Amino acid sequence: MIHTFKSIDELAVSLSEVVIKLARESIRAGKPFNIALSGGSTPSVLFEKIVSCTDDPGLWEQVNFYWVDERCVPAYHIESNYRMTDDTLFRPLSLSYAHVYRMMGEEEPYAEAERYEAMLRSQLPAREGLPCFNMILLGMGTDGHTASIFPDQMDLLHSGRICEVARHPGTGQQRITLTGPVINNADRVCFMITGAEKASILASILEDRRGSEKYPAAHIKPAWGTLEWYLDQGAKPLFR
């Protein structure tokens, strides 16, 4: 399902309403709502809209927040995905952090990937032997990467692990990332993609063109759940 919006603001309002609705339905049914968040710059607009669209802040005390990936930097480093989320979502909601499970970028990466994997296995319901998130929010880089699965590390899409250590191909920065199988095991995966610089790769992926398989984002195909694309006008695919 592709949703296109005139602006990132309109996109973020619509997606925030979906997140709020799903969280509310889950909690009203007496079930936990387990969501994994991506980093980068786009999600901050969504988080700000979640704050402004929330009329019952207590809702978020019952949501379990996890990450799709994290840069191997301290929690309050300018590049930390946790810091961006804390600044734009948790602190504005005055959240208690009781259900915030960050990837600890300051720890030794391989040990942290193992720790996080073990935590996910112990805290999330399983489906087919893998933790099952209610929702995973993804972005896509201008090289077609998603999570911290980069085009030169495609093996992470089929890893036997749930969490692995990745490396940014440009900077060499290490990252902790969820791998393809656990992302594709979620009930609902939502891409949030903006900007004309991604339109060409996006069209290639959405039209399943030859050559699109080199983009990690092209391999996000939930086995059981739904896949949705939230796009602004700039990113809207240049369909042939």
Residue ranges binding ligand 6PG (CB under 6 A): 38-42, 68-69, 81, 139-141, 145-148
Q: Which C-beta is closer to ligand 6PG: that of 77 or that of 127?
A: 77
Min dist. Cβ of residue 211 to ligand 6PG (A)? 20
What CA–CA distance (Å, rounded) separates 167 from 153?
8
What CA–CA distance (Å, rounded) separates 36 from 40?
14
Min dist. Cβ of residue 82 to ligand 6PG (A)? 10
Q: Which C-beta is closer to ligand 6PG: that of 33 or that of 191?
A: 191
What CA–CA distance (Å, rounded) separates 194 from 8?
7
What CA–CA distance (Å, rounded) separates 167 from 189?
23
Q: Which C-beta is closer to ligand 6PG: that of 16 or that of 81?
A: 81
Widest pairwise Cα distance in the chain: 49
Q: Which C-beta is closer to ligand 6PG: that of 147 or that of 199?
A: 147
Min dist. Cβ of residue 191 to ligand 6PG (A)? 9
Min dist. Cβ of residue 43 to ligand 6PG (A)? 7
Q: Which sign, positive or negative, has the C-alpha torsion 95, 187, 151, 164?
A: positive
Helix (H, G, I), strand (E, B) or coil at 149: strand
DSSP 82-113: HHHHIIIIITTTT---TTB----TTS-HHHHH
For residue 57, the number of C-alpha atoms closer than 13 Å in the C-beta half-sphere is 11
Helix (H, G, I), strand (E, B) or coil at 60: helix
Min dist. Cβ of residue 28 to ligand 6PG (A)? 30
Question: Long-range contacts made by residues 94-97, C-beta under 8 angstroms, separation at least 24?
Answer: 94/57, 95/60, 95/61, 96/61
Min dist. Cβ of residue 146 to ligand 6PG (A)? 5
Q: Which C-beta is closer to ligand 6PG: that of 26 or that of 137?
A: 137
Q: Which C-beta is closer to ligand 6PG: that of 22 or that of 147?
A: 147
